[in-house]
């Protein structure tokens, strides 16, 4: 006998409908409920999860100090502060291209600049040969869009088998717990957690849009440090970051 689904409350139905999910369609309703759950991790008071570092561990901000001597007090204050109330517009909108692009851009900015996310990078020793093996023989013929699509696909594949040491979900949750975040930032973080969950639950790496942003941040850091990136030397489209 099939278990009866818990009906959506009127408030939850309004939230997922506003985010573009049809509550009368079984698949879209499931996606909407997942998106709603991920948003609640960040928006509703007392629900932001993620274990803080051990008080004697190095602070994740990169200062070199112990966590207890650096960011512990401010993190605890932020964790106990009221969170924004979940409202219309706060739910990740996976069917809205403009909203998805905005969330991805903000996620990349966070990965590049937030101390709590600076360690979320792929290992270059395994990344370089993996990318090189995935490049076509006519790599030079790829235009900027085709190169971006290829890198996104390879990043998603790489993440499946090489990201076991990266607690990406935990890092995104910790980032949301740190400081007073604005609505677009919290929604982007929720969207990241949602897509990581979708990729894992459906065994579809193409759902993992976070992987492409981690790859971009990894390559940018390597180039800034002057670290050789043989797999990216000849792309001709990715060096300046704007695809031109």
Q: What is the mean pLDDT of the chain?
A: 81
In a domain, 173, yes or no: yes
Structure confidence at residue 25 (pLDDT): 94
Of the pLDDT bands very low, low, confident and very high (cuts 50, 70, 90), residue 230 is confident
Q: Is the pLDDT of residue 101 over 50?
A: yes
Residues 6+ apart with CB under 8 A from 14: 88
Residue of 181 and 159 predicted with greater confidence: 159
Pick the most confident of 52-61, 150-159, 173-182: 150-159
* CA-CA-CA-CA dihedral for 148, 154, 159, 160, to nearest 10: 140
In a domain, 90, yes or no: no
SS3 58: strand
In a domain, 125, yes or no: yes
**Same domain? 139 vs 224:** yes
**Same domain? 168 vs 216:** yes
**Same domain? 15 vs 75:** no
Phi and psi torsions of 132, nearest 5°: -60, -40
38 Rama class: left (phi>0) / alpha (psi -120 to 50) / beta: alpha
Structure confidence at residue 13 (pLDDT): 93
Nearest by Cα to 107 from 220, 188, 48: 188
Structure confidence at residue 44 (pLDDT): 74
Residue of 208 and 12 predicted with greater confidence: 12
Q: Is the pLDDT of residue 238 over 50?
A: no
**Same domain? 158 vs 75:** no
**Same domain? 38 vs 118:** no
In a domain, 175, yes or no: yes
- Here the tokens at position 211 are 């992987």
Instruction: Kindly state the average pLDDT of the residues 230-241.
Output: 53
Least confident of 30-34, 195-199, 225-229: 225-229
Structurally, the chain folds into a number of domains equal to 3
- Here the tokens at position 44 are 């509703």
**Same domain? 77 vs 194:** no
Instruction: Kindly state the average pLDDT of the residues 185-202.
Output: 89
For the segment 31-87, what is each residue's pLDDT rounded down to a tens digit?
A: 999 999 999 988 875 444 455 667 777 776 656 777 777 777 766 665 665 556 788
Structure confidence at residue 241 (pLDDT): 42
Least confident of 69-73, 146-150, 220-224: 69-73
Range of the domain at 206: 96-244
In a domain, 182, yes or no: yes
**Same domain? 159 vs 244:** yes
Count how many Cα atoms sit within 13 Å of the Cα of residue 52 in the half-sphere of its side chain.
21
């Amino acid at each position: 006998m099939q278990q009866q689904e818990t009906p959506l409350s009127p408030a939850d139905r309004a939230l997922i409908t506003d985010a573009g999910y049809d509550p009368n369609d079984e698949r879209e309703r499931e996606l909407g409920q997942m998106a709603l759950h991920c948003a609640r991790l960040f928006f509703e008071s007392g629900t932001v999860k993620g274990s803080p570092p051990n008080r004697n561990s190095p602070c994740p901000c990169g200062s070199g100090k112990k966590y207890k001597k650096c960011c512990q007090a401010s993190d605890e204050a932020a964790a106990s502060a009221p969170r924004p109330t979940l409202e219309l517009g706060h739910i990740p909108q996976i069917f809205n291209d403009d909203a998805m692009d905005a969330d991805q851009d903000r996620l990349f900015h966070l990965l590049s600049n937030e101390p709590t996310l600076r360690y979320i990078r792929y290992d270059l020793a395994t990344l370089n040969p993996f990318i090189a093996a995935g490049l076509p023989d006519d790599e030079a013929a790829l235009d900027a869009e085709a190169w971006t699509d290829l890198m996104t696909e390879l990043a998603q594949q790489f993440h499946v088998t090489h990201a076991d040491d990266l607690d990406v979900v935990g890092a995104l949750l910790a980032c949301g717990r740190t400081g007073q975040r604005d609505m677009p930032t919290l929604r982007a973080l929720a969207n990241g957690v949602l897509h990581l969950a979708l990729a894992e639950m459906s065994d579809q790496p193409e759902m993992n849009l976070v992987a492409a942003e981690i790859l971009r941040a990894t390559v940018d850091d390597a180039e800034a440090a002057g670290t050789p990136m043989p797999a990216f030397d000849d792309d001709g489209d990715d060096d300046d970051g704007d695809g031109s």
